């Protein structure tokens, strides 16, 4: 099982362990209609799964020997969220990333921006890709602002294609190229100070 730790100024990203599984399960499924789900693609219902099913899925993701597809966001030794990536099309090296911070008390504090900064940097360092993308929706302005702070550009807006709670929303595609990220880091030293341990 791969063990990896990326340390920023306030938060760290690390690979999950078996001890994290009950905590993550409770953060995701512990309450009905969790607050975080109202912003994390709420037009896709949160499909309940048993603890056994969740444990099996997490075990599969933990058994990687190369670049992990997800990492835990930790603040003051507390799990506050996750970052992840998936291949939209691996053959053409089209990668998308995601983030969720579960507790509203950790929203609007810059934790997501720092976590994604570490994650983008790690993905560019360890994968043969020229772009990192992020897909969100117009009902999540915090996510859009976070992406903009990191130099990501609006690449596409599919208008009124997400119908949710009686309203239409846009689907938002954002992305950043490797050379744009290098330039961003050079001009924003606050986002360029992290340590990595294996």
- All domains of the chain, ordered by start, with CATH? 5-190 (3.40.630.30)
> 197: pLDDT confidence band, cut at 50, 70 and 90?
low
Half-sphere exposure of 133 (CA within 13 A, CB side): 16
State the Cα–Cα distance between residues 130 and 79, nearest whole angstrom.
30
Name the least confident of 3-7, 98-102, 153-157: 3-7
φ and ψ at 193, to 5 degrees?
A: -125, 95
What confidence tens digit (pLDDT) does each residue in 77-94 have?
A: 999 999 999 999 999 999
* SS3 at position 130: coil
Prediction pTM value: 0.92
* SS3 at position 16: coil
- Smallest Cα–Cα separation from 21: which of 63, 47, 59, 50? 59
Which pLDDT score, from 0 to 100, does residue 189 have? 67
Q: What is the mean pLDDT of residues 166-191?
A: 91
Helices (H), the chain: 21-29, 51-62, 111-126, 141-149, 178-187
**Average pLDDT along the chain:** 92
Which pLDDT score, from 0 to 100, does residue 66 have? 85
Lateral strand order in the sheet of 78-89: 153-164, 167-177, 131-137, 94-101, 78-89, 70-75, 11-14, 5-7, 195-197
């Amino acid at each position: 099982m791969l063990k990896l730790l990326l340390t920023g100024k306030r938060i760290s990203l690390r690979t999950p362990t078996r001890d994290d599984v009950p905590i993550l399960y409770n953060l995701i499924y512990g309450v009905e209609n969790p607050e975080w789900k109202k912003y994390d693609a709420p037009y896709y219902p949160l499909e309940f799964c048993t603890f056994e099913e969740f444990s099996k899925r997490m075990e599969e993701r933990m058994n990687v020997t190369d670049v992990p597809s997800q990492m835990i966001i930790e603040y003051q030794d507390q799990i506050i969220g996750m970052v992840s990536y998936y291949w939209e099309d691996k053959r053409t090296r089209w990668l998308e990333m995601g983030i969720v911070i579960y507790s509203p008390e950790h929203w609007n504090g810059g934790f997501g921006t720092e976590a994604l900064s570490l994650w983008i940097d790690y993905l560019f360092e360890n994968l043969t890709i020229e772009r990192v993308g992020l897909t969100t929706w117009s009902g999540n302005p915090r996510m859009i602002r976070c992406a903009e702070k990191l130099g990501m550009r609006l690449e596409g807006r599919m208008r009124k294609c997400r119908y949710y709670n009686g309203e239409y929303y846009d689907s938002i595609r954002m992305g950043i190229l490797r050379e744009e990220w290098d330039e961003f880091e050079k001009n924003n030293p606050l986002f360029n100070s992290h340590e990595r341990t294996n």
